[in-house]
Structure formats: structure tokens, C-alpha cells
Amino acid sequence: MTTRQHARRLVWPTALFTLTLGLVLFLFYTDISSFVEDSETLLMGLTSLTYFALAWLASRLSALALDQAAVRRRPFPRLLRDLIAVMLFLFAFGATVALFMGQGATGALAGSGLIIAMLGFAIRNVVADTLSGIALGVEGPFRIGDWVDVDGLARGKVMEIGWRTTRVLTRDATYLILPNSQIARQRITNYSAPRPQYRAQVSIILDQSIPIALAKSVMLEAVKEAKLIQQDPSPDVRVLSYDAGGIAYGLRYWLTRFDKDIDCRDEVYSLVDNALRKIGNTAPRRRIELVAAANQKGDVAQDISGLINLVGAASLLEPIPAQ
């Protein structure tokens, strides 16, 4: 929302607050009992209207401040604006009740405690979602436009944060509506905060016959041709494990857009695969070692020697006799 639009939204709250405040001050310092029979009730009514006008004006000013701050930062969720407005109007309502009822307000609120408890139990799921939405709006683990991974629920771009639900658009263009209470119980990974830049990693297993230094240099030279990943900071390679099945390498690189994660991974794997194929067979091979028992060494050697003599005596080109 532009500054001009905000200025238009401030006209009516400012006019109402100025008018009601002026009338309250006029009635407070002027005796109009000769014109109005119950001037005290009129004064209290105008005072309560001033409370609500002030809450209305303060809510519009807070929305303006949040929009101005969002120009330099990420946009604030609509839930935060609504929460501030609700709190301001609740204060105005409480002040009005206290003004009209005086000490009787406490007794009235205490008498309705049982009804409030029964109503809260009936709508406990809605209350849980709403309170979770308020907590998400206050803490701000993510904002509109952030790419998030809600563990076990969704992974995508936050489109809207409401009172009860949060809407997420996945990379497959699927629109998910998630209850806030479920989001609040899960681990949230924000790939857009504090900066949209983050590091990803792919794992590659090569045979032990390839020297580690050669493997690192080949992979690093290969990813220099990548167009989707960042070259500053530059990619690097780390040895993750050295096992019987091969040497596991971790090729790490930096991204600026989470929605390009799959494309970047595909590009990195393709470039590394082409580079490794040029240096020969690099796939890990299973190695099996045959060890003879200690008390059977002589028998095994004798059997092998007899098998060699038998093969040497037979002619491989001799035709098989007919039965």
C-alpha cells in the first residue's frame, strides 16, 4: 500500500477523533445541564466514542509504520496488523465498560467465567490454531514470501499467514492450507532468513583407487562451469567417510533461490558425472578376499594344483565326443 493510500485511510479516523475529543473537552468545561437533562451520560458516551476513535487511528498508524518498515525488510504478515488492531479495540472496549459500569464490571466479568470456559472447551481447536497464529505472528519465524520447510508437513513459499491457517505454495504449484497449531509443533527451516543465500550439499561415492586430491580437483573444475550456483563463495569438497564401499565426498555449493534447488542439484551431478567419466571407471567396486583355513592349507593347495594340471592337460579346442 502506497503512502497516499495510507494518508486517505487516516482521514476519517483523525476527523472522528478530533471531533469527539473536542466535544468531550467542551462538555467537560461547559455547563449544559440547562439544555440536556442527563449531561453526564452524554459525556460518558462521547468519551467512549473517543476511545474507539483513538483505537481506530492508532491501528491505522501502526499499519502505516509496518508498511514503511517492510519497504526496507521483508513484508510483515497481515496477522500482525490484525492483532494490533484487535488489541487496541479491546483496550477501548475495556475502558468503555469500566467507564459505564465502574466497579460492577469486575463482578460481571467474573460471573461470565463459567460460560467462557465452556465455550473455550467447545472451540478448543479453533482457539489453539488462533493462539498459534498469534505466536507465529509475534515471533516471526517466517514471513510472506519466505521459502520454508515445515518438517513432515510442507516445503514451499509462504503466501499468507492468517489467524487460523498458513497458506504455502509448493514447488509443484500445489496450494497447501496448514493449521497454525500443527506448524507451531513442528521444526521449521527458513531458507530465506536471515538472508536468501544458503549452502547445499551433494554426496558422491568414488572408488579408493582414485586419489583424494585428484577426485577433489576434478569435481571442483567441473562445477566451475555451473550457471545456476554461486561461484562466490566458491564451492568446496570435503571427505565425509572412508569405508570399504568407497570414499564418500561432500560437494558443497551456495544458492540464492530455494526454488532452484532441484535444478542446481541436477546441474552439479551432470557436470561431475561428465568429468569423472573422462578419467575412467570411478564407481566403487566390491572387493572379496578368500582366506583358507589354517588346517586346510595343504589340501587347498593340492586341489588347486590338480585343477591346474587337469585344465592344462585338456585341449580347449577338442570337440566334445558324441554320446
DSSP string, 184-221: HTS-EEESSSS-S-EEEEEEEEE-TTS-HHHHHHHHHH
Contacts of 223 (CB under 8 A, 6+ apart): 229, 235, 251, 253, 268, 271, 272
Q: Which class in CATH covers the domain with range 198-278?
A: alpha beta
Bridge partners, 199 (sequence order): 254
- Alpha-carbon span 211 to 191, nearest angstrom: 35
Preceding omega of 233 cis (within 30 degrees of 0): yes
Q: What is the pLDDT of residue 309?
A: 59
Predicted confidence pLDDT, tens digits, the chain (323 residues): 666 777 888 888 889 889 988 888 887 777 766 666 667 777 888 888 898 999 989 988 888 887 777 655 666 666 677 778 888 888 888 888 777 776 444 554 554 555 566 666 666 777 777 778 878 877 788 888 899 999 878 899 999 888 788 999 998 889 999 999 889 888 999 998 888 888 999 999 998 888 999 999 999 999 999 999 999 899 999 999 998 889 999 999 999 888 888 999 999 999 999 999 888 767 776 666 666 655 555 555 565 565 555 545 444 444 445 44
- What pTM was estimated for this model as a whole? 0.56
For residue 181, the Cα-to-chain-centroid distance in whole angstroms is: 15
C-alpha cell recorded at residue 171? 514447488
How many whole angstroms separate alpha carbon 105 and alpha carbon 97? 7
The DSSP letter of residue 230 is B
Distance CA 42, CA 38 (A): 7
- 76 within 8 A of 70, measured Cβ to Cβ: yes
Q: Which residues pair with 169 in a beta bridge?
A: 157, 175
Alpha-carbon distance 192 to 172, whole Å? 19
Residue 159 CA to its chain's centroid (Å): 11
Q: Quick one: pLDDT at residue 317?
A: 40
The residues, any chain, with a CB within 8 Å of residue 49's CB and separated by 6 or more, are 16, 20
Whether domain 139-190 has CATH 2.30.30.60: yes
- Sorted by where each begins, the domain ranges of the chain are 3-111, 139-190, 198-278
Grid cell in block for residue 109 = 466479568
Strands (E), the chain: 147-150, 154-161, 165-170, 175-179, 188-190, 198-206, 236-243, 246-255
What are the grid coordinates assigned to 258, written together? Answer: 530455494
DSSP class per residue in 97-133: HHHHHTTHHHHHHHHTHHHHHHHHHHTHHHHHHHHHH
Distance of CA 33 to the CA centre of its chain: 62
Residue 89 near residue 59, CB atoms below 8 Å: yes
Q: Cβ neighbours of residue 290 under 8 Å, at least 6 residues apart? A: none
State the cell numbers at 98.
469500566
